[in-house]
A and B are shown apart, each in its own frame.
Chain A
Amino acid sequence: MNFFLLSRVASALFIMLGVSCLVFFLIHLVPGDPVEVMLGESAQLGDRVALRSVLGLDQALPVQLAHYLLGLASGDLGQSLHSHRPVWELLRERIPATAELAGAALAIALLVAIPLGVIAARRRGSYWDRGSMALALLGLSLPNFWLGPLLILTFSVGLGWLPVSGRETAASLVLPAITLGTGMAAILARMVRAALLEVLGEDYIRTARAKGLSPTRVVWRHGLPNAALPIITLIGLQLGALLGGAVITETVFSWPGLGSLMVEAINRRDYPVVQGAVLLISLSYVVVNTCTDLLYARLDPRLCLGAKGG
């Protein structure tokens, strides 16, 4: 276990370093002179020199990279060009909103996907199966920037049940979470069905049935826990799509999270904030996936032995 743990953590650290370097180079992708793009063509020479110095662009590239990485190690992500506040401070204010939205979306996705996948697998080939999977395919095909306004139109404007946007009350969370969770629910439902179908053909399921256990107990007690491994991996991987999708969902609902901060920063050409947001979201994704891998290893000890042996 220790070997597996160490190798996974080392690999995650390596990826995190790579991600940080890639994010550092992002600002160098700005066509032409980033300082001119940020300040506009009519900016004074003095302002340009000052900004170049603030961003460290007047130094050699390796020196800039070293400064950037050292800054990161001490939690310094630079300063916003718009509000002149430290980037980390701006990000920190927005983390709870995004975490809340992603958590709620994940919960909705699980609550919808597991029953849907189980029904489809238990009644394979039936209308229930086809109906659930058609619903999943539909959920996958609805873009969140359309589903969001559609939900607003129905539940906020039409029925007046839920707020249109913002994050004032707990009810404000419902529509953004459904919007963000739908795609993940659809993918998970398909996965739950596939994983469960694979497991339901195993001998121990036949034994459980032969013992006289009810079909429901067989599925929930013996089927689902054994089908959990690929589902957990998929949840980890899909969290990336969730965090990426949050950028658009937050914009639709004016949800004050990291995603909307990033879009605001792009529109203001506040590149240090864009860099900070991309870095924070990507690093959280790496951490979550590493934790998923470790959880996977805990659930299936064969994985550790495999890693040790090969």
Chain B
Amino acid sequence: MVSPSSRWVDRLTLAILLAWVFCALAGPWFAGQPNEINLSRVLMPPHGGNSLGYDDLGRSLGDRLLVGARVSFWIATGVVTLSATLGTLVGTFAAWRGGWWDHLLVRLMDLFLAFPGILLAIALAGLLGPGIGNGVVALAAVGWVGYARLARAQVLSLKYRDHVQAAKVLGVGEGRIVIRHLLPLIMAPLIVEATFGIAAVVTAEAGLSFLGLGAQPPTASWGTLIRDGTRYLLVAPHLVLVPGLALAAVVLAINLLGDRLRDWLDVRGLTIDG
């Protein structure tokens, strides 16, 4: 039975996620002028009900937060789509083919896992040059391995099942067996992994931007907002608090959704840390 407190948490989670997606999709229509400089409002703190304060150039923090929501949403969606597709293809191919293909691809996965994830992403983004596009490439280059390992393990456990063997005996093509009889069965754990993956990418993107390797000025990202805000931590703490709160709330909500999905889809053994 669902307790009232957990129902309350679920509603809050849903509200945060819907707000994030809505800001990302509809933000440009009501974001005002996120890059408009107004020196009469420099570092003004939040006041009244309709302002989240202003930054060092007098730009509206609320408007820039909306742009940041858009950046984080699209990067997270892009990176997770890219890495989940690539990872699933590689993992499924390795497990289905077996033999030296499997050996080779497992070694490749081990190799990528030998790097602390965010470290490789930072190095790649640094070498490729700062920017959103390179950030996406760097994060996807690191992220595919988790999906590949998961897809491989799932396919290995399914490929000798009766229904797959029956399809083989009936002369169904390999591609069709994989697409029709294997992929639907491995989707549940992959969806849960992808949900946690979105939270990880939102944090990682903000981390790259914090280091100056993600979104470039004047584009606002939650990471760049926090980085720029730390310079005024003593005089205008709202510049760090507001974007950080938005980021933490979204990441927390996605993690909660992942936990719920894992229980609901009855996927065992998957955790936020992979």
Binding site for B on A (CB under 8 A): 11, 14-16, 18-19, 22, 26-27, 29-31, 37, 130, 137-138, 140-143, 145-146, 149-150, 152-153, 157, 187, 190-191, 234, 237-238, 240-245, 247-248, 251-252, 262-263, 266-267, 271, 274, 278, 281-282, 285-286
Contact = CB atoms under 8 A, between A and B. Distances in A.
Contacts of B118: 241, 244-245, 247-248
A22 B207 CA distance: 23
- Majority-rule SS of B interface residues: helix
Interface in B241-271: 241, 244, 247-248, 251-252, 255-256, 259, 271
A240 B206 contact: no
| Chain B interface residue bracket vs A | 35 or more
B248 A143 contact: yes
Contacts of A11: 110
Nearest to B245: A146
A240 B226 contact: no
Given A245-B118, A278-B115, 14 more contacts: A22-B111, A26-B123, A26-B124, A29-B124, A31-B128, A137-B259, A141-B252, A143-B203, A143-B247, A157-B234, A238-B273, A266-B211, A274-B126, A282-B119
Interface of B: 5, 107, 110-111, 114-120, 122-124, 126-129, 199, 203, 206-207, 210-213, 223, 226-227, 229-230, 233-234, 237, 240-241, 244, 247-248, 251-252, 255-256, 259, 271-273
Contacts of B251: 141, 143
A45 to B, nearest CB: 23
A191 B120 CA distance: 26
A123 B22 CA distance: 39
Nearest to B110: A15
B211 to A, nearest CB: 6
A258 B238 CA distance: 31
Contacts of B272: 140, 187, 190
A19 B114 CA distance: 7
A30 B128 contact: yes
A29 B128 contact: yes
A244 B110 contact: no
Contacts of B129: 30-31, 37
Contacts of B207: 143, 145, 248
B16 to A, nearest CB: 11
Interface centre among A29, A187, A252 (most CB of B within 10 A): A29
Nearest to A186: B272
Nearest to A251: B211
Nearest to A237: B273
A141 B244 CA distance: 11
Contacts of B5: 130
A240 B199 CA distance: 18
Nearest to B203: A143
A244 B207 CA distance: 11
B247 A243 contact: no
Contacts of A278: 115, 119-120, 123
Interface centre among A11, A18, A27 (most CB of B within 10 A): A18
Nearest to A127: B5
B61 to A, nearest CB: 15
A31 B127 CA distance: 8
A182 to B, nearest CB: 12
B114 A263 contact: no
B174 to A, nearest CB: 28
B116 A243 contact: yes
A145 B116 contact: no
A15 B210 contact: no
Given A29-B124, A145-B223, A282 B233 contact: no
16 contacts: A14-B107, A18-B111, A29-B127, A142-B248, A143-B207, A143-B247, A145-B227, A191-B271, A241-B117, A244-B117, A247-B122, A248-B207, A248-B211, A263-B122, A266-B123, A266-B126
Given A137-B252, A285-B116, A190 B123 contact: no
